[in-house]
Structure 1
Amino acid sequence: MVEHSSGTNLSYRGDIVGMEGGTSLQDDSKYYDDDGRVKRTGTIWTTCSHIITAVIGSGVLSLAWSIAQMGWVAGPGAMIFFSIITLYTSSFLADCYRCGDTEFGKRNYTFMDAVSNILGGPSVKICGIVQYLNLFGSAIGYNIAAAMSMMEIKKSLCVHTSDGKDACHISGNPYMIAFGVAQLFLSQIPDFHNMWWLSIVAAVMSFFYSTIALALGISKVAENGTVMGSLTGVSVGTVTPAQKVWGVFQGLGNIAFAYSYSFVLLEIQDTIKSPPSEGKAMKIAAKISIAVTTTFYLLCGCMGYAAFGGNAPGNLLAGFGVSKAYWVVDAANAAIVIHLFGAYQVYAQPPICFRRERGSKKMAQNWQRIQS
């Protein structure tokens, strides 16, 4: 808090610059939003890139296996069902960005702000634990997935260089460490407002490797000369009844996880400029993003199942790893790594910002003690 020469007290909080009397430091509203923060510049398209980066992960490559567990009817049906549920819940969450008035109410900058202002009480701690465990787990998963893709590239090059004579045992530890070190630098990005470029690059990469997987699936179907798979998926007899049930539930879990981005929805929405209202823009972006991702999911999952049938691998690219087109698979794995750099940051931003804010408050309190 500092005192202006005119006697008016001004408050500074991060990117917030405003007057206690409620008027903006700048009369021109093109510099500041209604809450005193620097004008948000996000559009429907940057919002779509954030959502697609968060939603389309390397998990898209496991969808062929998931469909194989359920078959041609239940598999695609489950994808469409979860896409509708995701769109429905996204609409509700988008309306939680502002309290009361959907255009001029108090903003909830984060998922936890919404929980605190709308639910309050014990729900804050419970939802906070669930959110950060989910985000923390996703970040660990992305680290492992990126390391595995880098290992596949190294192994592929090793096998083809040695003409298959070398067993090419690759350790993942150096790659996980390298990915973690890179994230230390990327985590210096202040917030979602400043990482739009990374999300766009990551979204493009997700389309790139998904398209490669789709193209390889089509070529495999053409090579087989028939469409593999059945209406009910892996049959009992090939697996035990218990394995069939477990496989179906695991496949449903994979599909449900493939649509998970609710924990960062409000953080993404806080980047959108207005007018139109942030809620309207977010709903449009969610419709576009979910439609695009569902289309890619159906294409990749169904084509992978058509190519391999009940033998669809857990990672679709693994089915083509020893083919003549190994360099195409390597390019897809490289795209996965680049995409996961952005996806990691999308999921890591909320806990990073939380720790940054807590650290800033602690430093401010210590500074006040020193001055007093």
Structure 2
Amino acid sequence: MDAAALHVDDAFRKNLDDDGREKRTGSLMTASAHIITAVIGSGVLSLAWAIAQLGWVAGPAVLMAFSFITYFTSTLLADAYRTPDPVSGKRNYTYMDVVRANLGGKKVQLCGIAQYINLVGVTIGYTITASISMVAVKKSNCYHEEGHAASCKSSNYPFMMIFAGIQIILSQIPDFHNLSWLSILAAVMSFAYSSIGLALSIAKVVGGGGGEVRTSLTGVEVGIDVSGEEKVWRTFQAIGDIAFAYAYSTVLIEIQDTLRSYPPENKVMKKASLVGVSTTTIFYVLCGCLGYAAFGNEAPGNFLTGFGFYEPFWLIDFANVCIAVHLIGAYQVFCQPLFGFFELKCRERWPDSKFITSEHIVNVPFYGGEYYVNMFRLVWRSGYVILTAVVAMIFPFFNSFLGLIGAGSFYPLTVYFPIEMYIARANIQRFSFTWVWLKILSWVCLVVSLVAAIGSLQGLLTDVKKYKPFQTTE
């Protein structure tokens, strides 16, 4: 009997990792899919507009600069997942845990504030973008049937409600470890709509549709396209949009925590970051530059929903459906860390609460087994989704919102904390060559983020003044 019990215990232990949790099964492919899902998001749609504000010289240069910085700091962050040794040290399950283990003090709270505000902002932004794409499908069919000059008005609000309804259901997925299938589907969708936008831009340029298109080395021209003041604000906002397009450091640690123990997680995560960032950068440069070549200084804020293209309408429809499906998955990638953090804190605060801790078994038809429902998870996550949808209805502004989120998260989460943790872990001496150039990089990124935040905030305030809520949109 003892031998049998010992055998069962050994079998049970084989299904656990070194920290006693269920054995992780993530791989290079799943991590890359998570990253691509997180990175190639709605940001790609605004890149033609961003390049139009910056021009042929600064636009691609800023894109490449953000790409290099994001990859470099992601490698620093990947080494911080385990402490003190990056291969055999103690696991840190969240970004805040990593900061706590490497820096401690008030910086942990600052990290939490930056991370979770960013996650909330991203989910609001994705609600806005998904609804815009859904409306675009309806408008595309209207324009096809009634002509491009038709007044095809439609409201975003019903589609925001539909998106929120889908998210309420998907938000009951317990944690990040059960999201691999959704991330892979979302990654495929992101490639699909990016490729369609790219192909349509090439077709417009090659087909001579760009005969009247004006482009320049410095982007939109003062006195012709915009005033001097508008040029400055738009330049700042464009930088924020590009920063948003590379925002995934917020969920990097949570992605790394899904990886199996061997090969070492930090090595796999660095490879996944290289695959994800390089793949998305290629798409970004192509979509941004070819989008600018196709539309010039008149590039719309969203080149698939701003009706830079009308035909073939079925392909535009398909691309926008892909955007909506992708953002359904991306929403979950970004909100799961927030869900996990809040629920952990509640369990720690009220460990005896049946409402918070009890799991109820439900047999779901066609699911193929039992599903566990937690009433607290059901109520809180549903409430969160509804709240983000309401905020999205109040501030449905695409470019300004993306720019503000990107500017607010890029410096603290992508640059400051990874660099500070690396300096602390490696015991780099103050005023040494490495310390100086890392600090210079950090300060330059701070200035860029502040500039982008100011430009995006100004754009958001301008949009709010012009906006008339609860009206249908052209």
**Aligned positions of 1:153-168 closer than 5 A:** 153-162=137-146, 167-168=151-152
Q: What's the offset of the Cα at 1:175?
A: 1.1
SS in 1 for 2:300: coil
Q: Which one of 2, 23, 33 corresponds to residue 49 of structure 1? A: 33
Aligned partner of 1:229 in structure 2 is 215
CA distance in 2, matches of 1:240, 1:178: 39
SS in 2 for 1:34: coil
Deviations 1:261-307 (A, max 9, x none): 11110000000112111000000000011000000001111100111
Whole-Å separation in 2 of the counterparts to 1:186 and 1:319 = 29
Write out aligned runs for 1:146-185 (5 A): 146-162=130-146, 167-185=151-169
**1 CA distance for matches of 2:17 and 2:131?**
41
Distance in 2, Cα, partners of 1:321 & 1:229: 16
Matches within 5 A, 1:286-301: 286-301=273-288
How many Å apart are 1:28 and its aligned residue? 7.4
Distance (Å, rounded) in 2 between the aligned partners of 1:164 and 1:259 = 34
Q: Is 2:204 aligned against 1:217?
A: no
Q: 2:102 & 2:90 partners in 1: Cα distance?
A: 11
CA distance in 1, matches of 2:309, 2:45: 17
CA contact (8 A) 2:222 2:228 kept: yes
**Which of 105, 120, 124 is the aligned partner of 1:136?**
120
Match of 2:94 in 1: 110
Look up the SS of the partner of 1:316 in the other structure: coil
Show the counterpart of 2:67: 83
Shift of 1:73: 1.3
CA 1:151/1:84 → structure 2, altered by over 3 Å: closer, same or farther? same
Q: Report the CA distance between 1:246 and its aligned residue.
A: 1.5
1:151-205: per-residue Cα shift (whole Å, max 9, x none)?
A: 1111222343445696332122111111112111111112111100000000000
Distance 1:302 1:351, change over 3 A: same
| C-alpha displacement of 1:362 | 4.4
Instruction: Indicate the residue corresponding to 1:316 in structure 2.
Output: 303
| Mapped partners of 1:365, 1:323: distance in 2 | 58
Structure 2: give runs of 5+ residues left out of the alignment. 355-474
Measured after TM superposition, the shift of residue 125 of structure 1 is: 1.8
1:285 aligns with 272
Alignment of 1:21-60 (within 5 A): 25-26=9-10, 30-60=14-44
Instruction: For 1:348, give the aligned amino acid.
Output: C
The separation in 1 between residues aligned to 2:104 and 2:187, in whole angstroms, is 35
Asked whether the equivalents of residues 140 and 310 of structure 2 are also in contact (C-alpha less than 8 Å), the reply is: no
User: Residues 320 and 326 of structure 1 are in contact (CA less than 8 Å); yes or no, is this contact kept in structure 2?
Assistant: no
Q: Tell me which residue corresponds to 1:335.
A: 322
Taking the aligned partners of 2:149 and 2:289, their CA distance within structure 1 comes to 35
Q: Whole-Å Cα distance in 1 between the matches of residues 339 and 200 of structure 2?
A: 38
Letter in 2 for 1:214: L
Provide the rounded CA distance (Å) in 2 between the counterparts of 1:85 and 1:258.
Answer: 13
Contact preservation (8 Å) 2:83, 2:90: yes
Could you tell me how far apart the structure 2 residues matched to 1:262 and 1:62 are?
20
> How far off its partner does 1:25 sit?
4.8
2:434 paired residue number: none
CA distance in 2, matches of 1:317, 1:195: 27
Distance in 1 of aligned mates of 2:145 and 2:60: 40
RMSD (Å), alpha carbons: 2.1
Which secondary structure does the structure 1 equivalent of 2:351 belong to?
A: helix
- Report the Cα distance in structure 2 between the residues aligned to 1:28 and 1:324, rounded to whole angstroms: 58
- 1:182-193 equivalences under 5 Å are 182-193=166-177
* Secondary structure at 1:101 match in 2: coil
Structure 2: how far apart are the matches of 1:229 and 1:155? 28
Per-residue deviation, 1:107: 0.5
CA 1:204–1:137 in 2, change beyond 3 Å: closer, same or farther? same
Match of 2:51 among 67, 89, 99: 67
Indicate which of 123, 127, 130 corresponds to 2:111: 127
| Structure 2 residue 237 is the aligned partner of structure 1 residue 253 | no
Task: Report the Cα distance in structure 1 between the residues aligned to 2:148 and 2:174, rounded to whole angstroms.
Answer: 46
Partner of 1:354: 341
Which secondary structure does the structure 1 equivalent of 2:87 belong to? coil
Contact 1:139 1:347 in 2 (8 A): yes
Question: TM-score, normalised to structure 2's length?
Answer: 0.69
Q: Percent identity?
A: 55
- Alpha-carbon deviation of 1:27? 6.3
Distance 1:73 1:159 in 2: 36
Which letter does structure 1 place at the counterpart of 2:322? A
Alpha-carbon separation, structure 1, partners of 2:178 and 2:169: 14
Unaligned runs of 5+ in 1: 7-23, 368-372
| Number of matched pairs | 346
Q: What residue identity is the alignment partner of 1:108?
A: N
Aligned to 1:13: none
**For the Cα contact (< 8 Å) 1:228–1:305, is it kept in 2?**
no
CA–CA distance in structure 1, aligned partners of residues 222 and 281 of structure 2 = 29
